[in-house]
Amino acid sequence: MSIGVFMKKFALASSLALASISISASADTGVFVGVSYAFGGNNGLGFTAQATSTRKEDRGFAAAGFSYYPYAVGNKFGIPVGIGYQGKNSAVVGSYDLLLKAPVLSGGYANTREDAPPPLD
C-alpha cells in the first residue's frame, strides 16, 4: 500500500473515530488503556488507548481510539471502534479496527466511577 493511500485511509478512519467520540462529548466521557489482540493477519498483540462513552461502573459503553501493534508485519497502527463492558476500573472491549480491517479484543484499565447516591431529604 502506498503512503498516499495509507494517509487517505488514516484520515478517514480518524475522522470517523473522532466523530463517534464527539457525539458523547457532553456526557461523562472516560478513558480506557490496555492490551489488544487483532485477529487475522500477522498483527498480534498491541497496546490501545480509547475514549469511552461513560465512566459509570457496571455498564456497557461505546469506544473509539488508537492502537499500536509493535510486532505487526505490515501496518503497526490501528483505529478501533467498538463496544464494551466496564466493571470497577477495568473493561473489556470488542471492536473492529478500521485501518487493519480486523476484529479486535481488548482488556485493561478504565477510569470508572460509582453512581452518585440518591440525595437525602
Domain limits, the chain: 3-110
* Per-residue model confidence as pLDDT tens digits over 49-72: 999 999 999 989 999 999 999 988
8 A C-beta contact, residue 110 and residue 32:
yes
pTM exceeds 0.85: no
The band of 24, judged by pLDDT with boundaries at 50, 70 and 90, is very low
One-letter amino acid identity for 113?
Answer: R
Q: How distant, in Å, are the alpha carbons of 8, 22, 79, 120 from that of 48?
A: 22, 19, 9, 41
Sign of CA dihedral 55, 29, 106, 94: positive
The band of 17, judged by pLDDT with boundaries at 50, 70 and 90, is low
How many residues in total does the chain contain?
A: 121
- Ranges 13-17, 34-38, 87-91, 100-104: which has the least confidence: 13-17
Task: Report d(CA 99, CA 102) in Å as an integer.
Answer: 8
pLDDT at res. 44 = 83
| Nine cell digits for residue 98 | 478500521
One-letter amino acid identity for 34?
Answer: G
Q: What is the largest CA-CA distance in the chain?
A: 65
Q: Is the pLDDT of residue 114 over 90?
A: no
| Nine cell digits for residue 67 | 492502537
pLDDT at res. 27 = 62
| Nine cell digits for residue 47 | 497496546
pLDDT at res. 78 = 93
Residue that is written with C-alpha cell 459509570 in the block: 56
